[in-house]
Structure 1
């Protein structure tokens, strides 16, 4: 049995101070010390760190990454293969600062996969990060070769975000957690008779891995997911930093690293394990480009699920459009081998809501959960403070933003108000399972 213990510290206040420390719900950060730590990477050429609290009149854009601050008391890297040496994840102890995230933000330049977070008003509800205290890392880099590219790897800012989250986590490395989450994962052949009698369920995750050029995709233990083939893994590994977010995906459809650390669907399946279901674990799959690759992965997934003895499966994709083919094909392949399957994804039904929701559909995909329409139009008033650069929303090719539209005008108006598609709300469709959206009948 592998046991992961996440020790939680519930942050109620964050301020800057003389040292980085945590006590009684209050996190203090030595801003200069934290900046010096990040600036050890020579590719960061300018940097500021700010705090954005729920209810403050703040807009943050272009947001590239979000990470929950954590630390391992035994000295292992928070993200093996990324922030330090390779090591196993999914067991042992990790300390986590709850209610707070580190956001990686471009000081000037945005990208296709970047998004918007509002800390108050109508825009606050569109992303979970509007309700967290955000430690905002605002940086510019020397990555000149991609500065004016619509699709950026955002390597330096993303890595800086991971490292700053680990630095802040040091504040609780020697403290006793306020409570603990325990995740015990038993080998599938070693479970009790009572558990084995329950309906067995496997979760199929499809992280972003489409880009054949390295550096854009999600990483598993620091390894580009484009190299990956579907594999059965321990769910604890996902919750414990084995998987991190990439830079390629329309923003509302992304799983930030924060989402992976707190993957709600995994936690929900664990909560029902041994009571209503036998949670077998995760088949970590991929998203491909060619039809042959998509078919091959669907075959792998179905064969693994059948071999595990799964009665049911949940399939969830990071993204939409081309990935819909992998998503639906995987669902169909599972149904073909007798595994009853539910899918979770957002949809792209157009601004009027009348278009086909997924690129492909199949009559065997009979149970699909939608987390929202990426094309919904959203209008938001100006905010008093902007962290990053508001112009990036319209200027830099962010999904959901535009420089000009003959009917709607520019995304960024002269008065600082904005109009955009839901596409641009950072991780806003909650495909990891946290969405607060609901269905309404007309």
Structure 2
């Protein structure tokens, strides 16, 4: 029974290993003027002897070491694939069609210093191109292209550089091609480019390739609210197992994701993120969200009258002007109150007409309702005041009979705080003094 269990376990592990995506190793047991198994060109090199077309190998054996000794190989192997020119390729196997994969590599550009006058020094290589291709005649369907640039002939530090790119296969295999970039107009001889692929070179990105589903793509925050939640207002799906929902203020997920998802006005982009493999569902998010903000209305008032001194028996028109000054139309009825001065009578028409103030001024009394008590006249709008707009309401004030000369009293205009959706009460009061003579 124990042997059967061990056999079943062995077969299960074997199936898992076979199912994992694979790419030929860039290492071998020893250096040689030959490519590692699974690669069509290149030279097995190590930190001391890193090969090129004609040196430091003669035949199959190294003749002298390179200069300098290279840094440790990132994968921990003792050898790597040395490339001099042209294109080398290998097959990536056991892929899942439509699954996004993350490809991680390490490369180094090394100058070869010659001690033989017959062989000039070899300078640093300009760069290296990676392409992943769908298998078939000519590999004419490119799935991904990635370029790794080196600093230049006199600048490149001798160190391994790590890079990452992604691809999504359309078959269970794909062809990786690696091309050395050399300047066409440069007569220099070039040194070696080292390629090191570790055991986790090709890993699946479980964030997938589909855009984050949105149930809405835009929203206007209405005053007095100041924020909206990106998840509850916009997200329209289920977060895939093993991933996280992230939001950025750019479509390329550069910088840090938002930590506070209660946001104000702006443009935001949603991503699925696979933290285990450090990859996103999209390089450029198409899940775009636009958030705008509608300011609170701010209503202030003035009183216009042609003269403020009243003789016995005199009455005059005046108007109350209400202005929206914050660029947002009022929401709901606007209400203001006029305090009643004891020595004067204030009346008003309930239909629109013309008030006589330095000429004819149209009023909008038909759009307002009026009520009063012993201390105040209250007027309430039936229509909103538009953004940066104005409403004009007409009244008439008369000196009461029997009021002696020399009296001064105030007509106060107060916009009721919060009416019409406005919140700023600091500019809601105006005072005009009228007097008798």
Q: Fold conserved (TM > 0.5)?
A: no
TM-score by length of 1: 0.19
Give the TM-score normalised by structure 2.
Answer: 0.20
Which structure has the larger Rg?
A: 2
Q: Bigger relative contact order, structure 1 or 2, given CA contacts below 8 A and separation 6+?
A: 1
Structure having the larger proportion of residues in helix: 1
Structure with greater strand percent = 2
